[in-house]
Amino acid sequence: MSPPTLQVRNLRTHFFTRAGVVRAVDDVSFTVGRGRVLGLVGESGSGKSVTGFSILGLVDPPGRIVGGQVLFQGQDLATLSEEAMRRLRGNRIAMIFQDPMMTLNPVLRIDTQMIETVLAHAKVSREEARQRARDALGQVGIPSPEERLRAYPHQFSGGMRQRVAIAIALLHKPDLIVADEPTTALDVTIQGQILAEAQKLCAESGTALIWITHDLSVVAGLADDIAVMYAGKVVEQGPVAEVLDAPLHPYTVGLIGSVPSRNRRGEPLRQIPGMTPSLLNLPAGCAFRARCPRAEARCAEPPPFAEYRPGRFARCIHPHGEAIAA
Amino acid sequence: MTVFLLRRLLQAAAVVLVMSLLVFLGVYAIGDPVEILISPEADQIERERAIRALGLDLPLWQQYLVFLGRALQGDLGRSFVFNEPALQLILQRMPATLELAVGATLVALVIGLPLGLYAGLRPHAPVAKGILAGSILGFSLPTFWVGLMLIMVFAVQLGWLPSTGRGETVTVLGMRWSFLTRDGLAHMVMPALNLSLFKTSLVIRLTRAGVRETMLMDYVKFARAKGLSPARITFVHVFKNILIPVVTVVGLEFGGTIAFSVVTESVFAWPGMGKLIIDSINVLDRPVMVAYLMIIVLMFITINLVVDITYSLLDPRVRLEGKS
């Protein structure tokens, strides 16, 4: 059997700042198979985006991958040269960024930015590259792509720009797409369309997708599996329906409680008390301890990342089970 | 675009009119040329004849109107000293200054852009820090001192380059140019380098700051995520963005160089406009001063227009519209 599209094993990415070492990603592991969608969920600053950039090898100094492995189709990306990585990026592994207003170069035309991507990885004529660019724009639902190719980014709306960015990501039919909150900056109707297209793409072409978001409702409808991150660590992982129905980690419980729901009309939303801790000086033991309603003395020891039920992992010494309803 | 140009032209005319008034008044305030031009031994009758001949007997507003009427016909007056049309006098000197300014600006771009680019891409490299330190020197060393040092080292001690004058010239389009002959070019090297020192430092700093800022932008990271080569990212994605501030500043600097390269022209005895204007101020040669300043105003207007048009070519978000 061929290896899964992406395996991340014990990934650690740290930032060496003047104020100290920031453990932005600290021991993260997950697997994404062909055609599967992994929802990577967490609050701002939990290390989701850095995980995404680490996969593509795009962590800028003072950040550095200090440990673990990123296996892409069985190959350890850390062993590849910068040039070999460049050939993978945009070709086999593509990325979509959060803010569509910032991802396209304002002084270059859309066709320039698309054609250069085609030519970076394929030996084709300019005309052929242009044709591919046009087809890709049509594929993401941009009307009259031929004319739009000659436009500049500022002539597009935010939703349109994100479609262009997605079209660029799709140009080489990648095996893996890392989407970093791609719908956060868009309004809900556009978000729905883009989610539907993403799902269709994975089902049709077998592309594996990592969808980074802080929005549980997006993950609920889109992902197959979910990994919840907190303070640089994955605290819970499993099939999306099971995790959302019966979360094991108190943080996941808190996240789900923060989402408005029709079942709890009239009740105030349950917030998670406190703030995300500074990654510079995390408390020893469980990082969620200070905000956890179930914290006790034993939580000062680092909790293991254990499989509590088949396929269900959590980093907590007293996971919510049957004992406590979410 | 046409509307934009028409509007710009009207604005330019207004600016020129206002400037002419200011210049005329300003020059009038500097001093009375009669004291300098007419020999102290001359008697009263001679004095009055001379004053009338120069048109200095009329009240100021009449002098201005006479000047304006002639200026509209392309006559900016005759030099009191040389008794030649002021415009012709200036235009004769213009090629010398122009080629010096163009040479200095080219040097600034050719040296400044690559150094700034390097310093911006590798901000922590020792070489980059050296470049930055060098640019501080370029800003702070006085032009005349650097000019004298250049002469001392390369002309006096090493004897590699000539120290004064324009050297051999050839006439093209009715004007004399130095840069087309080997000898003329050799004469140009030191003054152009001297003049470019400040500009080079400016371009280095601007480019470096621009590169550092642009490299952090999401679109650069996205370009890397697309798998583009580092060369393409640097020279297309980053470079085109940093050119916008560089063009603005270099454009204005270019105008400044033409108008005020007095020091360098004096040090290297370069017979350009800068030297002419200083001499005219010394002898209160009003028509030359006025004509010179008018030409400078026109030149700045033109340069600003060119900068604006270049802008619209570089940055698609800038549109040249008739409406402001």
The dihedral region occupied by A109, where left means phi > 0, alpha psi between -120 and 50, and beta the remainder, is beta
Task: Give the closest-approach CA distance of A296 to chain B in angstroms.
Answer: 43
CATH classification of the domain holding A24: 3.40.50.300
Signed CA dihedral, A112, A118, A122, A125: sign only: negative
**CA nearest B239 in A: which residue?**
A107
* Residues of chain A positioned with their CB less than 8 A from the CB of B228: 86, 90, 116-117, 120
Half-sphere exposure of B277 (CA within 13 A, CB side): 22
Give pLDDT, residue A323.
43
- In-domain check, residue B163: yes
> Which residues 93-132 in chain A show a CB within 8 A of chain B?
94-95, 97, 99, 102-109, 112, 116-117, 120-121
- In-domain check, residue B99: yes
Shortest CA distance to B274 belongs to which of B264, B262, B258, B291?
B262
Average pLDDT over every residue of B69-91: 82
Helix (H, G, I), strand (E, B), or coil: what is residue B294?
Answer: helix
Residue B51: is its pLDDT beyond 70?
Answer: yes
Strands A306-309 and A312-314, by their bridges, are antiparallel
Q: A158 Cβ partners below 8 Å, 6+ apart?
A: A100, A101, A185, A186
Give pLDDT, residue B321.
57
**What's the structural domain count of chain A?**
1
The DSSP string of B123-175 is TTSHHHHHHHHHHHHHHHS-HHHHHHHHIIIIIIIS--S--SS--S-EEETTE
Largest CA-CA distance found in chain B, in angstroms, rounded: 87
Task: Give the closest-approach CA distance of A39 to chain B in angstroms.
Answer: 20
Contact between residue B289 and residue B282 where contact means Cβ atoms under 8 Å apart: no
- In-domain check, residue A310: no
Task: Identify residue A87 by its one-letter amino acid code.
Answer: R
Give pLDDT, residue B319.
67
Task: Give the closest-approach CA distance of A99 to chain B in angstroms.
Answer: 8
- In-domain check, residue A130: yes
Average pLDDT over every residue of A176-192: 82
Give pLDDT, residue A200.
82
Contact between residue B208 and residue B120 where contact means Cβ atoms under 8 Å apart: yes
Domain residues for B262?
Answer: 86-283
Give pLDDT, residue B177.
79
Structure tokens at A152: 């500049």
Shortest CA distance to A40 belongs to which of A210, A290, A247, A262?
A210
- In-domain check, residue A229: yes
Residue A326: is its pLDDT beyond 60?
Answer: no
- In-domain check, residue B201: yes
Residue A202: is its pLDDT beyond 90?
Answer: no
Residue B116: is its pLDDT beyond 90?
Answer: yes
Helix (H, G, I), strand (E, B), or coil: what is residue A308?
Answer: strand
Q: What angle do CA B36, B42, B45 make, to 5 degrees?
A: 115
Structure tokens at B158: 């090493």
Q: pLDDT exceeding 90 applies to what percent of chain B? A: 11
CATH classification of the domain holding B159: 1.10.3720.10
Q: Does A117 contact B316 at a Cβ distance shorter than 8 Å?
A: no
Whether omega before A62 lies within 30 degrees of 0, making that bond cis, reads yes
Block residue for tokens 């060496």: A16
Give pLDDT, residue A322.
43
- Strand ranges in chain B using DSSP code E only, listed in sequence order: 170-172, 175-177
Average pLDDT over every residue of B140-169: 84
Give pLDDT, residue B247.
86
B240-265 tens-digit pLDDT = 889 888 888 888 888 888 876 888 88
Task: Give the closest-approach CA distance of A129 to chain B in angstroms.
Answer: 15
- In-domain check, residue A125: yes
* Residues of chain B positioned with their CB less than 8 A from the CB of A154: 316-317
Half-sphere exposure of A158 (CA within 13 A, CB side): 16
- In-domain check, residue A72: yes
- In-domain check, residue A257: no
**CA nearest A150 in B: which residue?**
B316
Query: What's the ipTM?
Result: 0.85
CA distance A236 to A247: 8
Domain residues for A40?
Answer: 6-248
Among A52-56, A157-161, B44-48, whose mean pLDDT is lowest?
A: B44-48
Distances (CA, A) of A287 to A25, A284, B212: 13, 7, 35
Q: Does B219 contact A88 at a Cβ distance shorter than 8 Å?
A: no
H-run or E-run covering B18? helix B2-30
Structure tokens at A161: 């720009």
- In-domain check, residue B198: yes
Among A133-137, B139-143, B171-175, B277-281, whose mean pLDDT is lowest?
A: B171-175
- In-domain check, residue B31: no
- In-domain check, residue A256: no
Between B217, B225, B315, which is nearest A58 by CB?
A: B225
CA distance B12 to B300: 10
Average pLDDT over every residue of A179-190: 80
- In-domain check, residue B39: no
- In-domain check, residue B59: no
Q: B244 Cβ partners below 8 Å, 6+ apart?
A: A107, B311, B314, B315
B266-278 tens-digit pLDDT = 888 888 888 888 8
Mean of per-residue pLDDT scores for chain B: 84
- In-domain check, residue B11: no
Q: Does A102 contact B217 at a Cβ distance shorter than 8 Å?
A: yes
Mean of per-residue pLDDT scores for chain A: 84
Among A13-27, A158-172, A265-279, A301-315, whose mean pLDDT is lowest?
A: A265-279
Half-sphere exposure of B58 (CA within 13 A, CB side): 11
**What's the structural domain count of chain B?**
1
Contact between residue B5 and residue B18 where contact means Cβ atoms under 8 Å apart: no
Return phi, psi of residue A226, to 5°. Answer: -135, 140
CA distance B274 to B289: 11
Determine if the pTM surpasses 0.80: no
**Which of B219, B314, B315, B317 is the mutation pick for testing A, counting most A CBs within 10 A?**
B219
Task: Give the closest-approach CA distance of A277 to chain B in angstroms.
Answer: 26
- In-domain check, residue A305: no
